Amino acid sequence: MSPFTTQRRLAVTSLGEAKLIGEIRRWLSTASPRPPGGIGDDCAVLAGSMRDQLITVDPVIYGEHFDDSVPARGVGAKLFNRNLSDIASMGGRPRAAVIALALNEQVRLDWLREFYRSLATIARQHRVPIIGGDIAHHASGLIATMTIIGEAPEDRPLTRQGAAAGDWIFVTGTLGGSRLGWHYKFSPRLAEGQWLARHPHVRSMMDVSDGLAKDVHALTPNACRAALDGKALPISRSARKLATTSGVSPLHHALTDGEDYELLFTLSGKADPAAFIAEWREIFRRRLTCIGRFVKRRARSPYTDELDLASVHGFEHLR
């Protein structure tokens, strides 16, 4: 459904700002606590915490991240989950969210209702209250931006730094073909991220948002290259399906499509990848694959079928 309508009585213009905020509070219901903890004052108030705080922000923009083909509930889920995925990728626990909306007067009320109801569902599911927000006018469209505050794991937030030559490269789940629907249906890997952050042999982590081919560079130590085993990559069913009509290979989809929101992380080269996978399987059913290793830039390949990452490019913003 399009988020916009030319029929005045169906659009936000029929309510005005004050009544719209009232509606939003109703739609969010128990997902938004009463002030001073929730919507309705100049600031939201969040209780202090002993741990380091994680803060992340990400938008969904009409025409950029979604269009008329994505249901309003899918847009809400995507907004919330991509922010949660960033908290997951540092091993954190989400605590609270705020949301800023920029919209024109033609946005449909029923579209907004479904959008906020999906936010409320996810807020309850992960126990992340929506404690505040803002509404602003934006003449040409619809943008929703969410900020999530989270708590770092006890020992350390798991960052993108920390891998060394010889370390193993792992990815959860499967990759590619997100545009067939995964990008608004995925669930953030919060439990997995928290477990990985506690594991002494896990050294660095991120979530796959721009495509493995591009994202893996962010974890690659200086003077090293990511040697990926061409036979090991976990290619999704959607990637294979897309490849039947797109003219590029399933492998290429897996490497470059992006929006997979799986966890990409590195394990100490001293650890045994098979033993690590066995430990994982005791707790999680989700697929986990060792896809390669960091080696010195000019070192011989550990694989007979190493992927040539220089020839593929992931999604690049602002280009």
| Site of interaction with Mg ion (CB under 5 A) | 86, 207, 209
Is 160 labeled as ligand-binding? yes
* Closest distance of CB 52 from Mg ion, Å: 18
- Between 207 and 262, CB nearer to Mg ion: 207
Is 86 labeled as ligand-binding? yes
Is 315 labeled as ligand-binding? yes
Is 167 labeled as ligand-binding? no
Structure tokens at 316: 């690049």
* Closest distance of CB 16 from Mg ion, Å: 37
* Closest distance of CB 90 from Mg ion, Å: 9
- Between 11 and 219, CB nearer to Mg ion: 219
- Between 168 and 261, CB nearer to Mg ion: 261
* Closest distance of CB 205 from Mg ion, Å: 10
Reduce the secondary structure of the chain to three states and give it as a string: CCCECCCHHHEHHHCCHHHHHHHHHHHHHHHCCCCCCCECECCCCCCCCCCCEEEEEEEEEECCCECCCCCHHHHHHHHHHHHHHHHHCCCCEEEEEEEEEEECCCEEHHHHHHHHHHHHHHHHHHCCCEEEEEEEECCCCEEEEEEEEEECCCCCCCCCCCCCCCCEEEEECCECCHHHCHHHCCCCCHHHHHHHHHCCCEEEEEECCCCHHHHHHHHCCCCEEEEEECCCCCECHHHHHHHHHHCCCHHHHHHHCCCCCCEEEEECCCCCHHHHHHHHHCCCCCCEEEEEEEEECCCCCCCCCECCHHHCCCCCCCC
Nearest to 226, CA basis, from 272, 285, 160: 160
Is 56 labeled as ligand-binding? yes
Is 268 labeled as ligand-binding? no
- Between 207 and 260, CB nearer to Mg ion: 207
Is 209 labeled as ligand-binding? yes
Is 58 labeled as ligand-binding? yes
Is 42 labeled as ligand-binding? yes
- Between 31 and 152, CB nearer to Mg ion: 152
- Between 86 and 192, CB nearer to Mg ion: 86
* Closest distance of CB 220 from Mg ion, Å: 16
- Between 28 and 206, CB nearer to Mg ion: 206
142-151 and 224-228 beta bridge pairing: unpaired
* Closest distance of CB 46 from Mg ion, Å: 22
* Closest distance of CB 226 from Mg ion, Å: 17
Measured between alpha carbons, how far is residue 230 from residues 209, 254, 255, 291, 302 in Å?
Answer: 20, 11, 11, 8, 11
Nearest to 219, CA basis, from 270, 292, 315, 286: 292
Residue positions forming the annotated binding site = 42, 56, 58, 65, 86, 116, 133-134, 160, 207, 209-210, 259, 315
Residue positions forming the annotated binding site for ATP = 116, 133-134, 160, 209
